Structure 1
Amino acid sequence: MPAERPDLINHSWTSQWIGLPGDPTPSPENLWLMFRRVFSIRSRPDRVLARIAGDTKYWLYVDGELVVFEGGLKRGPRPGASWYDTVDLTACLGEGDHTLALLLWHFGKDGFSHVSSGKGALLCELTVDGSPVPVIDTPWKVLRHPAYGSTGSPHPNFRLPESNLRYDARVDPGAWTAPGFDDAHWPAAVHLGPAGIDPWGELVERPIPLWRRSDWTPYERLERQELPDGQVLHIGVLPHNAQVTPCLEVEGPAGEIIDIRTDNYLGGSEPNVRAEYITKDGFQRHESPGWMNGHAVHYRVPRNLSVRNLAFRESGYDSSIVGGFACDDEELNTLWQKASRTLTVNLRDNFFDCPDRERAQWWGDVVLQIPQGFYAMDRRFDALARKAIDDLFNWRQPDGTLSSPVPGNFTDELPQQMLASVGHYGLWTYYLHSGDRDALSSTAEAVQAYLSLWKVDERGILEHRPGGWAWSDWGDNQDMRILESAWYILACRASARIARVLGDEDKARAHQAQADRLTETCRREFWDGAGFRSIEHTERPYDDRAQALACLAGMVRPSQYPAIARALQEQAWSSPYMEKYVLEALLKMGYIDQALERMKQRYAEMIASPITTLWEGWALNTARFGGGTYNHAWSGGPLELLSRCIAGVGPTEPGWKRFSVRPALGHLRQVDVVVPTEPDPIRLGLRKDQVGLEMKLTVPAGREAVVSHQTTTSRVCVNDRPDRSLSPETERTSTLPSGVWTIREFS
């Protein structure tokens, strides 16, 4: 196992797990429990902390006020272990009498992102100024929530651990979270054992922030449709694709059923989550706590009910879009914005492939999402990226095999995704942007073990590794031999760089030598004079993915660039997952306008669509693209490419201590980019005219920029002064410390 992170591992608990008397083991699916505790704090505290663990989600109320909205994480920091939250309650709990109330939702089943403990229970420990609460109190009381239950079929598809939610307001327990509520008939919670006991296991502290959440928010607009069955469909239009919990206020008779789902209920071709509300008599107010996503919430309401208000609460991972990109091509601007929205709706407990059908952390997707986050989001994003890395390695198999999605009960290896994860676009990219050296040192042994599972044959060609699912991309015409070799070369080159960072030159040389040997073998075996093609692919067209990865892995010599560019102009087999690498190869080779034109052509339908997110495939809801969800963050590769390759801003030292500015505008004449480094961002404005190129660059304090000049003359001015360090014989760069700079290149 990788080195433990001491900041995440629990050391001591004085409280015990508690649960419902008579609850069977395993607990039933979709179990909702109400916990209450009344106590007094004897003197004014300086700091009050709560540590809370449970399978799976909880809502915490202090003196009747909601303090934590959907606490807890889907279970699985490592096999057999559970998460706990640390919540600061200092602002809520002063000297005097208090009531803690906690609503617990036990999923009770596994999914592609959750491993159930099988037992719904709570562990809650309160400390005041570092010591257990000095209290005059009553014990915890608990009751099964009478109003929550499951709907009839159809149920959510098997990938989701969440259930549909039915709430029967006729048996609503009343204001049970408020002080003074009469819980005399509630039984005392039973003790189930100390922290660390099975089935919950080791407790690991939540490494990411609690969710951000809005208040109840009006819809952008409400639409109303009369239905032939005596129902009225109320459609609440959202401002964008979002993670929301639907809210309602209605009045009318008891026993009527309101069906609640989004327009995206069948996103990815299979049922996702929905909710039902059964009315009580009179006026009532309700929020269904299980989040769903889409562009609109559909309420199917019986005609004899009066709808007083429909609203939503948006929630999600607590990181904001603070980066930006804008240019004089509105289609590219729209693409960047849709990519950032897609990324946002795919972040919560983990990185999602999609927020509807699966909510699963497939690592091929994560490799594409992490760099997007570094160019789009504030640095709270980084904690989720590190959690994803820890998840990947904490769930590896005893023989060193890596698998996904994780966390989950999965042992299937997707070999190409795993190579991408441990290589240049995975671990190395995370380190270069974050500066998190511990992520390299804690995973180095596991990466070495995984790479050692791959073998080469007597000719020096990488042997095919089928794994559990030898998947490389959706679609046809995949040249697997070249794709595997390229991913392996990229992983070896990254491992060489990582070994140097960690001070192990012997390993660095060994990894580099392995990459160099395989590169030469691939050049010899796969180049046919017009492109790269394996012997198994001889009678088939060139695979655009294979040409691209061959280029990015260093197989392609500069003299071969025109042939590769021609192949990428003629072939378009990749799904949006691999399209990012195709575009990056064109940019690397200097075919800027060809890359921009291909980007616009391939994404044209998504750019023009009213849908605010990017799709899994080039078409919607088709098995050809795995179901074809309309919000797949792997499709957002252009976000990173526009900021890093077109605007040309990228880190050259870990944590952006030093960064390069190397614009490649092609036909674009104006570009503005904001890169969300902290505490202050990097800002770059580019303007190209007949005279040359003007750059306005803000270098934050403590950072240094190296500006590469496109002009072949020595006519470069920095803040209106000629840069006399440049000459045709030297590397044409200007090194600039923190400050605001105007750089003018004259054609």
Structure 2
Amino acid sequence: MKRCAMLAVVMAMVALSGEGRAADQAWTGQWIGVSQPSEPNQWICYRKTITLDDKPTAASARIACDSKYWLWVNGELVVFEGQLKRGPTPSDTYYDTVELAPSLQKGANTIAVLVEYFGRPSFSHNSSGQAALVFELSTPGGKIVSDKTWKAKINPAFGTTDPPLDNFRLPEANIRFDTRQAMVGWNGAGYDDAAWPAAVEFGKPPAKPWGKLYARPIALWKDTGLIDYENAAELPAAGRDEEIIAKLPYNLHASPYLKIEAPAGKVIKLHADNWHLYGDRRTAELHRHEYVTRQGVQSWELPGFINGHEIHYQIPPGVKILELKYRETGYNADFVGKFECDDARLNTLWKKAERTLYVTMRDTYYDCPDRERAQWWGDAVNEIGEAFYVFDAERGPMLAKKGMYELANWQRPDKVLYSPVPSSPPPSWEDFKTNKLGQSGYWGRELPRQMLASVGWYGFWTYYWYTGDKQTIVDVYPAVRDYLSLWKLGDDGLVIHRPGDWDWTDWGEQKDVAVLENCWVYLALKAGVAMAKLTGNDSDIADYQRRMQSIEANFNKTFWQGDKYRDPKYKGQTDDRANAMAVIAGLAKPAYYPAIKQVLKTQQYASPYMEKYVLEALYMMDAPAQAIDRMKTRYAEQIDDARTTLWEGWGIGDKGYGGGTYNHGWSGGALTSLSQYAAGIAPTSPAFATYHVLPQPGSLKKMHSVVDTPCGLIDMTFKREAAQTSITLVSPAKTVATVGVPRDRAVKTITINGKVAWAGGAVKALPEGVRYVGADEQWIRFEVIHGEWKLTASE
């Protein structure tokens, strides 16, 4: 079976068995735990010894818990941080499937599981209120399941640091591990657990409070194992009064490790470099952790992760350092996509955007990996668009699919969509809306413009267009339709403003909300039409089109002021975002483009979130040189900065917005602009069955771009010399590509694979597999089947 078809089948199977529906197979294992009440930041150890007649050839385990687990088999670490944050719906839980056959042996086998229970409300996890584990292992000889024959005990070594605590939005706590209380070797085969109490049974799935169990739709984390720091040779051999700074190769999810020889009672502190920049602010309060020594040689690894460019160890004098290492874990997809050009600054920007994207991917898309770790959908929309140009086409899109199901499944009874989800719904909506709950970690507020982006052209529809995954759209469309029904038109034929629960449009100043809101609604309705057609809901189309036509009829006569877009009621400075979005939505007439381009030269109010759309608008108006100039100007400080990721605002900490993180998911839109528009690679039908390569080089003379698609790799090289421009394309099987030779320079002849195909404005003999499509002001276009093609244009 060809790759296109295989990936389509994979995506459809995941849609049917993963995010959208709970497991069909019944569970026989019991939810088990301890008799003591569940408390925040509680860590529970589980053990079970089983006997197998033979080493199994296959042994699949299904595992779920609230909230995270680490799994050992016969003393070997098999899973480092399993379990996705809860939940796929407000009532339910995910489960993992893990193949254990390689770790099992004939005879006695010891299974040990450490469960971390968050136990508090947050912006990224919905606590069930009860710490527990359920486990089922299927072998050729039968099932081994969790029940009261297992042993379970609270790990007394785990506690929480003294204040200041971590951010109220996070479910994970600051860990204080006192190894003097540790049960040394508890996860190994030879440990004596005879004195441990039996586990308490709480019922079989779908028992409450955990609900139905949904299959984990993304892979377990990539895991490097323990590796050396970049400056390992320079790290000291003994503790000291100053911090020990261990350098990472780039911003990443790190689990610090130490091996030391120490007297008892010494306190070692751990945090990342970002804690010093903004992590001790009330709005940030990043994670920091502590380890208390026992007498002698000992080692410890932080479960979970912190992120940054450096790990700072505070190891006091009197402690001998034997090893300092770290483990990198992260979202499990391959880095396949590339963009390289002859402008080193743009290469740096693209790579920083790539790294920013990856560090904001884990259980969900994140806004930031330190302060919140939450799936804000304004960030997610930008991240989804970038991911198609960075990762492999099979696993890369899975996080977007998961997020789409979550957004739809968490829709409120009043049809409102909101994010971040999963999160913790407030116990009292009235108290939440009146802010009586304060900074409690509960969430349920709608940000209307973000939700429009999510269900619209750049959110759900972009996912479908790049993957061809129809079933996911079928499943989420009812939620989209319900949400779009909330948006009404006024007597002026334009959108009635919906403030939602947080009337947020973008960070920064000078936001022309009325113009922006009409653009976002129009794009959401446009996607609604496309989704309704795709899913067979044709009866919905007329209403969407009626509202679109009304916006079309009234938008320009209300907002176009002759040289710019402005709401007549708006009193601030002319908004670059609003003018760009008019182009993006297709509401701006081409005759307005020169004036809009001038606005985008002088106005710079967009945050990095909305800057993506400003840059895209410039490319859509055939202004690639201006797009590159603006890109390099706006991101100049970030390009020059030594850090490997892009910021929440145009500054860090107090100079930024909303906390000023130096790694923020929404900030990498320039990556999409360069891959999709500068290199010009984008699908023209679902899943790249047809696509175009329409370069807009601007000032660039060389570009190399690689994009993985459901049909295989697209590899394009663009070169421009004194009087010649060439495009070399390697196109995958089962695709048809439209390749455009740019007309920003005079073109006299075009050869394709060495044969003259176009000269003097006329088509000549074409190679087999090539068809002339036509020409306009920007490109001379040819359609080519799969294979390797070189188009050379001479002046």
Same fold (TM over 0.5): yes
Q: Within 1, Cα distance between the matches of 2:444 and 2:368?
A: 21
Q: Select the residue among 627, 633, 644 that pairs with 2:665.
A: 633
Query: Aligned partner of 2:300: which letter?
Result: H
What's the CA shift for 1:555?
1.6
Does residue 528 of structure 2 align to residue 495 of structure 1? yes
Give the residue type in structure 2 aligned to 1:572.
Answer: Q
Match in the other structure for 2:544: 511
Q: CA deviation at 1:560?
A: 0.6
Verify the 8 A CA contact 1:474 1:624 in the aligned structure 2.
Answer: no
Aligned match of 1:313: 327
1:59 is matched with which residue?
70
Question: 1:468 maps to what in 2?
Answer: 501
- 1:724 shift after superposition: 5.5
Structure 1 residue matching 2:398: 3-state secondary structure: helix
Shift of residue 691 of structure 1?
A: 2.1
Match of 2:465 among 412, 432, 452: 432
CA-to-aligned-CA distance 1:106-155 (integer Å, 9 cap, x gap): 111121101111111110111114942499x9921111112111111111
How big is each residue's C-alpha offset from its partner over 1:514-546, in whole Å with a ceiling of 9 and x where there is no partner? 213202211110011011100221x43210000
Structure 2 counterpart of 1:329, from 343, 353, 357: 343
Contact in 2 for aligned 1:520/1:555 (Cα 8 Å)? no
Establish whether residue 722 from structure 1 lines up as the match of residue 756 from structure 2.
yes
Tell me whether 1:664 sits opposite 2:675 in the alignment.
no
Of 114, 121, 144 in structure 2, the residue corresponding to residue 103 of structure 1 is 114
Q: 1:504 to 1:721 in 2, by over 3 A?
A: farther
**Identity rate of aligned residues, in percent?**
43
* Aligned-partner SS, 2:782: strand
Q: Does 1:34 align with 2:45?
A: yes
Name the CA distance, whole Å, in 2 between partners of 1:447 and 1:462. 18
Aligned-partner SS, 2:269: strand
Aligned residue in 2 for 1:643: 675
Amino acid at match of 1:82: T
Aligned-pair CA distance for 1:230: 6.5
The one of 255, 265, 289 aligned to 1:245: 255
Q: Distance in 2 between matches of 1:455 and 1:75?
A: 34
Which residue does 2:621 correspond to in 1?
Answer: 589
Return the alpha-carbon distance in structure 2 between the equivalents of residues 28 and 113 of structure 1. 18
CA contact (8 A) 1:226 1:232 kept: no
The correspondence for 2:203, drawn from 193, 196, 209, is 193
Give 1:297's aligned amino acid: I
1:287 is matched with 301
Task: Give the residue type in structure 2 aligned to 1:735.
Answer: E
Aligned to 2:784: 736
Task: Give the whole-Å Cα distance in 1 for the aligned partners of 2:396 and 2:322.
Answer: 38
1:542-561 to structure 2, matched below 5 A, reads: 542-561=574-593
State the partner residue of 1:605.
637
Q: Shift in Å at residue 713 of structure 1?
A: 5.4
- Which residue is 1:260 aligned to? 270
Contact 2:711 2:734 in 1 (8 A): no
Aligned-residue offset at 1:701: 1.5
CA distance in 1, matches of 2:569, 2:547: 24
Counterpart code for 2:45: M
Secondary structure of the 2:547 match is: helix
One-letter identity of the residue aligned with 1:718: I
1:390 aligns with 2:441: no
CA distance in 1, matches of 2:236, 2:518: 56
Q: Deviations over 1:594-626 (max 9, x none)?
A: 110000000000000001100000011127511
Alpha carbons of 1:302 and 1:259: their partners in 2 closer, same or farther (altered >3 Å)?
Answer: same
Contact 2:30 2:145 in 1 (8 A): no
- What is the DSSP-based 3-state SS (H/G/I as helix, E as strand, rest coil) of the residue aligned with 2:712? coil
**Aligned residue for 1:9?**
22
Alpha-carbon displacement from aligned partner over 1:470-514 (angstroms, at most 9, x marks no partner): 101011100000010000011111111222223444433442342
Residue in structure 1 matching 2:36, options 14, 17, 23: 23
Distance 2:790 2:84 in 1: 47
Moved more, 729-738 or 283-292: 729-738
Gaps of 5+ in 2: 1-13, 426-442, 764-772
| Residue 124 of structure 1: aligned partner | 135
**Amino acid in the other structure paired with 1:716:** I
Any conservation in 1 of the 2:235–2:246 contact (CA below 8 Å)?
no
Tell me by how many angstroms 1:395 deviates.
Answer: 0.4
Per-residue deviation, 1:354:
0.2
Change (3 A) 1:129 1:517: farther
Select between 239-248 and 167-176 the one with higher mean Cα deviation: 167-176
- 1:359 matched to 2:373: yes
Normalization by structure 2: what TM-score?
0.90
Structure 1's 130 and 594: CA in aligned 2 closer, same or farther, altered over 3 A?
farther
The answer to whether the Cα contact below 8 Å between 1:592 and 1:664 also exists between their aligned partners in 2 is: yes
Partner of 1:372: 386
C-alpha spacing 1:92/1:116, structure 2 compared with 1 (3 Å): same
2:527 is the alignment partner of 1:482: no
Q: Tell me if structure 1 keeps the 8 A contact 2:334–2:391.
A: yes
- Counterpart in the other structure of 1:91: 102
Rounded to whole Å, the distance in 1 between the matches of 2:774 and 2:389 is: 31
Work out whether residues 226 and 233 of structure 1, in 8 Å CA contact, stay in contact via their aligned partners in 2: no
Partner of 2:433 in structure 1?
Answer: none
Residues 131 and 736 of structure 1: CA distance in aligned 2, closer, same or farther (over 3 Å): farther
Alpha carbons of 1:130 and 1:672: their partners in 2 closer, same or farther (altered >3 Å)?
Answer: farther
| Pairs within 5 Å for 1:130-169 | 131-133=142-144, 139-169=149-179
Distance of 1:623 and 1:13 partners within structure 2: 52
Conservation of the 8 A alpha-carbon contact between 2:28 and 2:145 = no
In the alignment, residue 349 of structure 1 is paired with which amino acid? Answer: D
Q: Letter of the aligned partner of 1:403 in structure 2? A: Y
1:12-52: CA deviation from partner (whole Å, max 9, x where unpaired): 011111111x212xx11111111000011224433211111
Q: Shift of the alpha carbon at 1:425?
A: 0.4
Worse-matched range after superposition: 356-365 or 75-84: 75-84
Question: Does the Cα contact within 8 Å between 1:326 and 1:333 map onto a contact in 2?
Answer: yes
Kindly state the Cα deviation for residue 238 of structure 1 after the two structures are TM-superposed.
0.6
CA distance in 2 between counterparts of 1:545 and 1:134 reads 56
Q: In the alignment, is the contact (CA less than 8 A) between 1:44 and 1:94 conserved in 2?
A: yes
* Aligned AA (1:174): V
Secondary structure at 2:153 match in 1: strand
The normalised TM-score by structure 1 is 0.96
The aligned counterpart of 1:576 is: 608
- Output the CA distance in 2 between the equivalents of 1:38 and 1:516: 68
Q: Is the 8 A contact 1:402 1:418 kept in 2?
A: yes
Contact 1:37 1:138 in 2 (8 A): no
Q: Please say if residues 714 and 727 of structure 1, whose CA atoms lie closer than 8 Å, have aligned partners that are also in contact.
A: no
2: CA distance, partners of 1:366 / 1:743: 37
Question: Contact 2:263–2:296 at 8 Å: present in 1 too?
Answer: yes
RMSD of aligned alpha carbons: 2.2
C-alpha offsets along residues 327-383 of structure 1, whole Å, 9 cap, x if unaligned?
110000000000000011111100000000000000000000001100011231211
Change (3 A) 1:727 1:424: farther
